[in-house]
Amino acid sequence: MEFTSLLTSEDLEHKLRLANDLQEAVRLEQLTLHYQPQFETVSGNVRGFEALLRWHHPLFGPISPTEFIPLAEEIGLIYSIGDWVIQTACQKNKQIQEKYMPTSVMSVNISGLQLQDSLFFDRVCGILQKTALSPQSLELELTERDRISLKDRRIDTLKKFANHGIKIVLDDFGTEYSSLEYITTLPLSTIKVDRSFVAHIANHYEGTVLVEWIISLARKLGLTVVAEGIETFEQLHSLQKWKCDFVQGFLISKPLHESELPLFFRKVEWKQENKFLHT
């Protein structure tokens, strides 16, 4: 195992410890998924969920995904963990569809490394078949940080998913210089406005203009828009005015453990009536 970053001896020891422990995390059920609801911006109806991976280490407590996901990529665990995430998320969405809402869509984050695996497409299709979930009920999210070039073979894999009915989502839109190239090259159905832009709505003129422009551009290109990180009513009401399709964020709902889903669905009607008020 080789780590090329410049680390202190204590940092390296901690990283090596996490690398070893991460290999046991799935088997010991330390990895879990939380589900953050997405809502229709105007009506307030629940659209579906984004599956968020969490790791609660027995000694160190919660480990940030920004720390352990790159580590999983570095030591080659991202493939098995990624399959587990998709399997678990699809199973949960099927349960949600059968018990609460038949149209629920589940969005799952994937790594660019997974797209390099020649068997990844077949495994995802196998998971859909095993869980009896329709391809249209699954979205795969990738970020601009994966840096997929025009001649990248991973584009072919993304096209296979899109042709199969699985929606492709570009997360963190606008955070890299390649944003415009991606939306004209990748087989996208949806872009997600990064929370760093949403945070500027109503208190930063350039940021407000940029979010409105992104939504307008996406609509003209036939893309769906999700705004993430909604924390204030001003942000929500602006997004309603600009006709953003969907929103998610702590103002409306935090990410939920599966045990919290029954109560969430019992409160959905109340949340719609009280959170999605027009200005």
- Model confidence pLDDT, tens digit, residues 206-233: 889 989 999 999 999 999 999 999 999 9
**Tens digits of per-residue pLDDT, 237-270?**
999 999 999 999 999 999 999 999 999 999 886 6
Mode of pairing for the β-strands spanning 31-40 and 61-63 = unpaired
Model pLDDT for residues 148-165, shown as the tens digit of each residue:
766 688 899 999 999 999
Q: For residue 34, what are its two tokens?
A: 């939380």
> What single-letter DSSP state applies at residue 103?
T
CB half-sphere exposure, 205, CA atoms < 13 A:
0
Closest C-alpha to 33, from 229, 264, 257, 261: 257
CATH of domain 18-275: 3.20.20.450
Residue 195: CB partners within 8 Å, gap ≥ 6?
Answer: 228, 229, 249
Q: Of 227, 220, 141, 217, nearest to 186 (Cα)?
A: 141
Two structure tokens written together for 244? 């953003």
Calpha distance 120→117 (Å, rounded): 5
Rounded distance between C-alpha atoms, residue 228 and residue 41, angstroms = 11
Greatest Cα pair distance in the chain: 56
